């Protein structure tokens, strides 16, 4: 269960430590501002058993800050791009999945319904309303010319599987090319 924002302002849950550990070991000082501080480890686990990235100066230890010579942003993302690899294979799950959220519901008969939708502030629990910014609340998030299901192909394929992704594309491309109900962030414009 995610407990804080993966925006880089705080810290993020790491459900797949081996993947992130391997990636972190490949990062260099050129790519990761706080690499030396991470010598003592870059995760911590609380009493409830939830593992998160450690903080460095109040934010995720992987977050390079404004003024860093490689620019502000996630060091794992920088490492993946430098290596010519998918950032999906370097970052914690919730970090690369955002703004997509996969929910699975099992009914009384054991039938599982999977839903992909947008992460909302409310999904973060009580702390969600405290984020000073949330990407999909801004109209700026809706200016891309490539449809989300194409732009986020790798992410969707990882989350729902390649076969289901192909079915999704077939269905979406058979529909009329118009927006039936604009996102609320765009409607407010």
Q: Given the rule CB under 6 A, which residues bind ligand SF4?
A: 6, 8, 12, 53, 60, 62-63, 74, 76, 91-92, 95
State the minimum distance, in angstroms, from the CB of residue 100 to ligand SF4: 14
State the minimum distance, in angstroms, from the CB of residue 53 to ligand SF4: 5
118, with CB counted inside 10 A (0-12, 13-18, 19+), is middle
Residue number with CB closer to ligand SF4 (63 or 159): 63
State the minimum distance, in angstroms, from the CB of residue 184 to ligand SF4: 25
Query: What span, in angstroms and rounded, lies between the C-alpha atoms of 71 and 78?
Result: 9
C-beta separation of 82 from 121 below 8 A:
no
Residue number with CB closer to ligand SF4 (74 or 159): 74
109 CB contacts (<8 Å, ≥6 apart)? none
State the minimum distance, in angstroms, from the CB of residue 117 to ligand SF4: 20
Residue number with CB closer to ligand SF4 (27 or 156): 27
Taking alpha carbons only, the member of 109, 103, 106, 96 closest to residue 153 is 96
85 CB contacts (<8 Å, ≥6 apart)? none
Residue number with CB closer to ligand SF4 (158 or 165): 158
């Amino acid at each position: 269960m995610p407990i804080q924002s993966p925006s880089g302002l705080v810290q993020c849950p790491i459900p797949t430590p081996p993947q992130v550990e391997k990636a972190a070991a490949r990062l260099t000082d050129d790519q990761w501002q706080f690499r030396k501080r991470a010598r003592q480890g870059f995760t911590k686990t609380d009493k409830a058993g939830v593992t998160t990235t450690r903080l460095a100066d109040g934010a995720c230890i992987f977050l390079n800050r404004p003024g860093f010579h490689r620019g502000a942003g996630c060091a794992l993302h920088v490492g993946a791009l430098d290596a010519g690899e998918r950032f999906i294979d370097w970052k914690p799950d919730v970090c690369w999945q955002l703004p997509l959220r996969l929910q699975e519901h099992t009914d009384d008969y054991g039938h599982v319904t999977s839903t992909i939708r947008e992460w909302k502030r409310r999904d973060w629990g009580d702390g969600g309303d405290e984020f000073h910014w949330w990407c999909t609340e801004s109209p700026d998030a809706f200016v891309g010319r490539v449809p989300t299901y194409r732009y986020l192909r790798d992410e969707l394929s990882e989350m729902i599987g390649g076969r289901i992704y192909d079915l999704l594309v077939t269905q979406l491309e058979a529909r009329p090319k118009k927006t039936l109900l604009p996102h609320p962030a765009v409607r407010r414009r």
